[in-house]
Amino acid sequence: MIPWDLPAWITYSYLFILGAVIGSFLNVLVYRLPLHEEIGKAWRGVCHPPSSCPYCRRRILAIDNVPIFGWMWLRGRCRFCQHRISFRYPFIEFLNGSLFVLLYWMMIPVGFGAEFTESCLASPVSPYLHGVDPRAVPMFLNCQFLYYLVFTEALLVASLIDFDLQIIPDSVTVPAMVVGLLGSLVGCFWLLPVWYQSASTVSMLWSLFLDPEGQLPWWTEVEIPKWTLSHPHLHGFANSIAGFVVGGGTVWYVRIAGQWVFRREAMGFGDVVLMAMIGSFLGWQPTLVVFFVAPLCALAAVLGTALFIRPREIPYGPYLSLGALIVMLGWKWIYPATERLFTLGPFLPVIVMLGGIALVVVLWVVQGAKWLLGIPLYEDEWVGEWTSADQLAFFASHQTTQPTQSLPRQQWPGIAAGQGTLQRQNWQGR
């Protein structure tokens, strides 16, 4: 844990170095976790066998594993076979080091006299305004930084794998989800209370739409339930569970609606689990904001690359991750813009349900427009389930730059089968 009053340059330098070192480990996770579908096998395969060149199979020396500088020292080539090493490895190390610095800079005010209200997570309903000793706030903020650091690392790994293979393995999202749920038991990591309403707004809407002449229910006068303050650990866990349900349920609903209207998979189940993980960390209200920010990120990326790349399908996980990062780091400014919506109390679920109905209507309008333009509405449907193993084999069979050496036998044989080299490997005894 970093002291509260260290000079900023020392703090940020230390964080960048630490982030670059962990970024080197993330490169291993991105490559090895998708090789196994089972979570246990995937994580056991992270540490064994040791890292080696995929072309000459020689062990990578410890000095060559130094983040960023190891790649620069070797000039981007293997020490033994001189085969080119992708620039992606040092880039991810640099990116992860920068993320460490960015998160700490945004979340934790550095220096003497720093106030927690300068944090990007601060809002008028922050947990530090409700019964937390001010002397303990620096410790809580550092713990909160570590909590959301795990979240950010999981988002980065899931995004990179989704870009490569268009799958998001459970071995990435499920362990992070467990951290999100268990970490919420600390009781002060939430961004908004699990239930939060404006008494004046709810009373006005109740009188206007439900009972113009009747007496208002007692709960319309309660803005934040008292039990959330008297049982902070239970409240934190309830907040995480609510985010898990709303995050996963929202994307699941979109997946079902898209499949019903278009008769093809609109979103992968990995996106459902990823959104559930996001909800377990952020809570249900910020997760709803992520759901609307992510399409804007995807649209900006598609328009920005339209002249160069026109993919028929895009991996959506990276944009969900980017939306989650934007909401988390920009919460101090996003919250005032969404405060009126989230203070509607029991009327907010009604609005969400109406939005779900409107989504289906819009999808059918799109189908109607395609019919009017003479565009085929449906394509040949895939019979059966397309698993992550099928996806890996598909990508492997379309990879034209694979090395001539085969993969070790302890790795998943589906890649070699997709390349049509499995029988040759068996004959060679590999």
> pLDDT digits over 237-272, tens only?
999 999 999 999 999 999 899 888 888 777 788 899
The total of other beta-carbon atoms located within 10 Å of residue 64's CB is 17
Shared domain for 399 and 362, answered yes or no, is no
Pair (343, 418) in one structural domain: no
Distance from C-alpha of 163 to C-alpha of 268, rounded to nearest angstrom: 13
Judged against a pLDDT cut of 90, whether residue 119 lies above it is answered with: no
Mean pLDDT is highest, among 57-71, 113-127, 144-158, 247-261, for 144-158
Give the domain-ending residue among 311, 340, 366: 366
What phi, psi does 305 have (nearest 5°)? -115, 10
Note whether residue 138 is domain-resident. no
Mean pLDDT throughout 135-151?
Answer: 86
For 159, 234, 314, 393, the CA distances from 292, given in Å and listed in that order, are 18, 29, 17, 33
Query: Is residue 4 predicted with pLDDT exceeding 60?
Result: no
Q: What distance in Å separates the CA atoms of residue 214 and residue 230, rounded to the nearest whole number?
A: 32
pLDDT band of residue 141 (cuts 50, 70, 90) is confident
Residue 36, pLDDT above cutoff 90: no
Task: Report pLDDT for 394.
Answer: 66
**What is the amino acid identity at position 269?**
F
Helix axes 317-329, 88-107, angle to 10 degrees: 30
Mark whether 199 and 347 lie in a shared domain: yes
267, 333: one domain: yes
Q: Residue 149 domain-assigned?
A: no
Specify the range with the lowest mean pLDDT, choosing from 133-137, 296-300, 382-386. Answer: 382-386
105 and 173 share one domain: no
Examine the domain organization and report whether 340 and 397 are in the same domain.
no
Pair (313, 231) in one structural domain: yes
- 240 and 165 in one domain? yes
**Residue 402: which pLDDT band, with cuts at 50, 70 and 90?**
very low
pLDDT at 415: 57
Percent of the chain with pLDDT over 90: 35
91 within a domain of the structure (yes/no): yes
Q: Tell me if residue 59 falls in helix, strand or coil.
A: strand
Average pLDDT estimate for 160-173:
92
196 and 229 together in one domain: yes
CB count within 10 Å of CB 296 equals 13
Q: Tell me the pLDDT band of 404, cut-offs 50, 70 and 90.
A: very low
Looking at the fold, whether 356 and 386 belong to one and the same domain comes out as no
Which of 106-115, 185-194, 368-377, 381-390 shows the lowest per-residue confidence on average (mean pLDDT)? 381-390
Mean pLDDT, residues 367-386 taken together:
70
Q: What number of other Cβ atoms are within 10 A of residue 339's Cβ?
A: 15
DSSP reduced 3-state for 52: strand
At residue 374, the pLDDT reads 81
The mean of the pLDDT values for the chain is 83
Q: Cα–Cα distances in Å, from 184 out to 48, 140, 187, 332, 378? A: 32, 12, 6, 20, 44
Mean pLDDT to the nearest integer, 121-129 = 81
Within a domain: 123: no
Query: What pLDDT was estimated at residue 403?
Result: 43
pLDDT category, 133, cuts 50, 70, 90?
Answer: low
* Long-range contacts formed by 358-363: CB under 8 A, 24+ apart: 359/254, 359/257, 360/257, 360/260, 360/261, 363/257, 363/258, 363/261, 363/262
Q: CA–CA separation, 132 vs 59, rounded Å?
A: 51
Please state the rounded mean pLDDT for residues 344-354. Answer: 86
> Maximum Cα–Cα distance for the chain, whole Å?
85
Final residue belonging to a domain, choices 114, 140, 165 = 114
Token pair for 53? 């060149």
Co-location of 322 and 417 in the same domain: no
Domain's final residue, options 318, 341, 366: 366
pLDDT, residue 301, reads: 87
Asked if pLDDT for residue 1 goes beyond 90, the answer is no
Residue 410 belongs to what domain range? 382-430
Residue 406 has pLDDT above 50, yes or no: no
Structure tokens at 230: 């008297």
In a domain, 374, yes or no: no
**Length of the chain in terms of residues written:** 430
- Percentage of the chain beyond pLDDT 70 is 82
Check pLDDT > 80 for residue 352.
yes
Tell me: pLDDT of 101 over 70: yes
Q: Is residue 188 part of a domain?
A: yes
d(Cα 81, Cα 77) in Å, to the nearest integer? 8
- How many structural domains comprise the chain? 3
Q: Does 424 score more than 70 pLDDT? A: no
93 and 221 share one domain: no
pLDDT reported for residue 413: 59
For residue 417, is it within any domain? yes
Q: Which H helix or E strand runs over 49?
A: none
Lowest mean pLDDT of 156-160, 199-203, 363-367, name the range: 199-203
Residue 133, in any domain of the structure = no
Selected residue with higher pLDDT from 427 and 88: 88
